[in-house]
Amino acid sequence: VLEEILPASAVVSATRSDILDAELFPEEETVVDRAVDKRRREFTTARACARQALAQLGERRQAIPSGLRGAPQWPTGVVGSITHCDGYRACAVARATDFATLGIDAERNEPIPVGVLADIALPPERESLRRLMHDQPGVRWDRLLFSAKEAVYKAWYPLAGRWLGFEDALVAIDTAGTFSARLLVDGPPLGGRQLTGFEGRWLARDGLVLAATAVPATAP
């Protein structure tokens, strides 16, 4: 389903079940060698998805280590992003000549835990959630807001190399399937200018909410 919300030149590999015979490279194994089974399965399956996606881009089979703050380290000339939630694991990659960065996120289409909204949503975002929940109750808009912010963070980090808090971007979600995130902090330089935000798309399907953002290499 992620293909539907990413540009056509991005390659997606996703699965709804774990790939139990997938192998890890030694530098990946160290990331999960002491992890619980659930974490090991999601990590291993998503790495298998990543290798499938890289192969479709014409890249050789190789390790995708976890770098600073957990960001996956893509081969030179490739940008990408990984997500996993219960019942879904996915990776999207693209050529760096097409995109400066990518961010994807998938979540169960379920309410976020009580109390979390105050930590992740700015007052204008909470206001718009009230309206969206009233107009279209089938989508868990609070979860979608969270997902959009996670996708933004995953796209932000490889460019900026620093933390971005939930209060540092103002996200506006459109019922037509798009969202925008306006940065409330200085963005990283990109193409001789400064990045001021992210444009993304979202989808609610088969019990999931998904969000994706792709910044063109020529942005902003």
| Residue 15 or 66 with smaller CB distance to ligand COA | 66
What is the footprint of ligand COA within residues 119-138 (CB under 6 A)? none
# of chain residues touching ligand COA (CB under 6 A) = 22
**Rounded to an integer, what distance in angstroms lies between the CA atom of residue 108 and that of residue 78?**
28
Give the nearest distance from C-beta 130 to ligand COA in angstroms.
Answer: 20
| Residue 38 or 61 with smaller CB distance to ligand COA | 38
In sequence order, which ranges of the chain are alpha helices (DSSP H)? 26-32, 37-56, 117-120, 123-135, 141-160
The closest alpha carbon to 3, from 153, 118, 12, 69, belongs to 12
Question: In the sheet that 169-173 helps form, which strands lie side by side, from edge to edge?
Answer: 99-108, 208-216, 197-205, 178-183, 169-173
- Asked if 72 interacts with ligand COA (CB under 6 A), we say yes
Among 74, 99, 141, 157, binds ligand COA (CB under 6 A): 157
Query: With contact defined as beta carbons under 8 Å apart, do 12 and 53 qualify?
Result: yes
**Rounded to an integer, what distance in angstroms lies between the CA atom of residue 49 and that of residue 62?**
12
Among 41, 43, 93, 129, binds ligand COA (CB under 6 A): 43
Among 153, 173, 190, 201, binds ligand COA (CB under 6 A): 153
- Asked if 84 interacts with ligand COA (CB under 6 A), we say yes
- Interface residues with ligand COA (CB under 6 A) are 43, 46, 66, 69-72, 82-84, 105, 149-150, 152-154, 157, 164-166, 168-169
